[in-house]
Structure 1
């Protein structure tokens, strides 16, 4: 039977498209339009999870935490009409279509997503082969790993699977993973910390719980407030990575492609306009196996002058591959000795010049100085 014939038969029998598996891929269709989100109808595609219609979402009552609040909020983006039932009673949870953060079971076939049980050590890296993350998943991480791409597609239009995967990775690495780590007590660094962070999303959700000496408290109202908080922040992050971060990829790719026209060394790139370039550059450097690697990035600054920025060892590092000329560091204007120079930061990580040619000249002279010293 053809795919269309199979779909037609399923509809006639009332099975629903989201239950079909054809040639290893799933036909997927669900959701009415929801304010701020999008309806989805993609076929065929491969999914981590076989979806079913979800009318009830179960989680525990009592003190709530960021992971199950965020998990419920994400599921409600997929299924806006789903009812949330908060209880620890088996008879209540067993009647739910999906249960998260309670019950002591992680079983995809029965839609049970708890992470508290003994022996649970599932990470995004173990669940999704090829992903680099090894923080134990909370209920938020489980929901995101199984449903995340479809939740993202409810918020933004990303038909290209590779771009969807890029946004998925950024949202997990820079948003969900933090919730997973905090909920599971995974230390951010060790052996000691200089200060703690108490303004993160998990802390703000925690603050919405009943205080020890509070006499009147509406737990359901507080839980809904927490869901609203996490939902808004999650949607904001998805939109940022889809609508601001992702479009920068083309700019960085073009700069790399044209690097030898900027300087014969290939170690200086020029952005056609400023954008968040670091994450894209290091990913492309790895994928393209760039040689030589880029040492300086030149771009037009928002204040009307040109910038020359030194590239660090990696996206998170403060150590520079080659800083701007040591003799210029901390100087301003004519003291730098380069025409049009405005300033050079004390660490040599960035400098300014009145012209494009001046900024490129600063990068070239810094390269030459490094070669002469090595």
Structure 2
């Protein structure tokens, strides 16, 4: 889909249209993503709600009441709009629309490979789920949890976390209601546009940082996790202990995906890795969370070990070389691999 869109574009400078007034994270990111591609790199930005001006733009995002990839129109506000990213339930915003059509071209350009490369497809889905989808939901007023379910359970938030979202960050970059405004309409629009470009660059920094992470760190880690997962039965007959021989890598996403693909009830409970890639390194033992972003572990390290260090820990655990076990039980350490694996195996049955 993205390849078709990319081929359709001309090589001459083009203009991108979006609405003026209060700006949001989705169109700020949409404009940034487009400008990553050669065709849009030197594009002119036109922020207006005037249909006549928008009709002159090569590409229009988040305004205009039309979604038509054939004419490069990417609005999502029309009543009939229900489009979602493939295999995802969240209605798209302008960020999601631009990413759906141009994301593969952006990723392929970053990797220096063709758009049909297998790694492009893997990262394409991952970045949408980990980054873009939350922006789509925020802009469309979709809650992460079912409000009726939360109300029925009697759950209340303990504090406000609204200020920590990217949407809130962009909102703060808008002019305040009582900020001085130039009396000349052209100068006033220029001042507003400058603030929008700051927001677009800020969103772009986060997107590019994610793109860098998933292409340069997350993807190379996948093979390492796969190899460790294949060897897990060497340490425990039920495969509940995963060991990284050289050094730790980002493993949670890959582990959960492997477990889901394999099915069955057996899950990895502890992950072992050296603190640094040297022969004399101490070893860590980490309890696997119930989900990627959870603070709850599938099986925390034994309560009797928690909060103890060094000789006291060795005495409590019955395993020499103890370094520490966190008071919450989600991580611990030993001076050697043999000690760490002994702690893991012992913890399985406690």
Mapped partners of 2:242, 2:78: distance in 1: 51
| 1:141 partnered with 2:106 | no
Is 171-180 or 299-308 further displaced after alignment? 299-308
Distance change in 2, residues 1:339/1:168 (3 Å): same
The DSSP-based 3-state class of the residue aligned with 2:178 is coil
1:65 and 2:44 matched: no
Q: Does 1:177 align with 2:154?
A: no
Q: Do the aligned residues in 2 keep the contact of 1:298 with 1:360 (CA within 8 Å)?
A: yes
Shift of residue 158, structure 1, vs aligned partner: 4.9
Cα 1:275–1:50 shift into 2, 3 Å: closer
TM-score (norm 1): 0.78
Distance 1:103 1:358 in 2: 64
Q: 1:325 touches 1:365 (CA, 8 Å); kept in 2?
A: no
- Residue 197 (structure 1) aligns with: 162
1:4-31 deviation digits (Å, cap 9, x = unpaired): xxxxxxxxxxxxxxxxxxxxxx9xxxxx
Q: For the residues of structure 1 that align with 2:73 and 2:307, how far apart are their CA atoms? A: 58
Cα deviation for residue 351 of structure 1 reads: 1.2
Moved more, 261-270 or 82-91: 261-270
Question: 1:59·1:100 contact (CA, 8 Å) conserved in 2?
Answer: yes
Consecutive unaligned residues in structure 2, runs of 5 or more: 151-155, 182-187
TM-score of the superposition, structure 2-length normalised? Answer: 0.83
Corresponding residue to 2:250 among 276, 283, 288: 276
Q: What displacement does 1:48 show?
A: 6.5
CA distance in 2, matches of 1:226, 1:366: 49
Contact 2:18 2:27 in 1 (8 A): yes
Which secondary structure does the structure 1 equivalent of 2:349 belong to?
A: helix
Q: Residues 13-28 of structure 1: matches in 2 within 5 Å?
A: none
Pair 1:215-2:180 in alignment: yes
Residue 264 of structure 2 corresponds to residue 293 of structure 1: no
Q: Would you say the 8 A contact 1:48–1:147 is kept in 2?
A: no
Distance 1:291 1:271, change over 3 A: farther
Q: Find the residue that maps to 1:58 and give its secondary structure.
A: strand
Paired with 2:342 and 2:113, the residues of 1 have a C-alpha distance of 40
The counterpart of 1:104, out of the listed 54, 57, 65, is 65
Kept in 2, the 8 Å contact 1:155–1:235? The answer is: no
How many residue pairs get aligned? The number is 319
The CA distance in 1 between the partners of 2:231 and 2:265, in whole Å, is 14
Q: 1:117 aligns with which of 78, 90, 95?
A: 78
Does structure 1 retain, via aligned residues, the 8 Å contact 2:6–2:102? no
Name the SS of the counterpart of 1:246 in structure 2. Answer: helix
User: In the alignment, what sits opposite 2:325?
Assistant: 344
Q: Which residue in 1 is equivalent to 2:185?
A: none
Structure with higher RCO (Cα < 8 A, 6+ apart): 2
* Cα drift, residue 347 of structure 1: 3.0
Residue 310 of structure 1 aligns with which residue? 287
Q: Could you say what secondary structure the match of 2:8 adopts?
A: coil
C-alpha RMSD of the superposition: 2.3
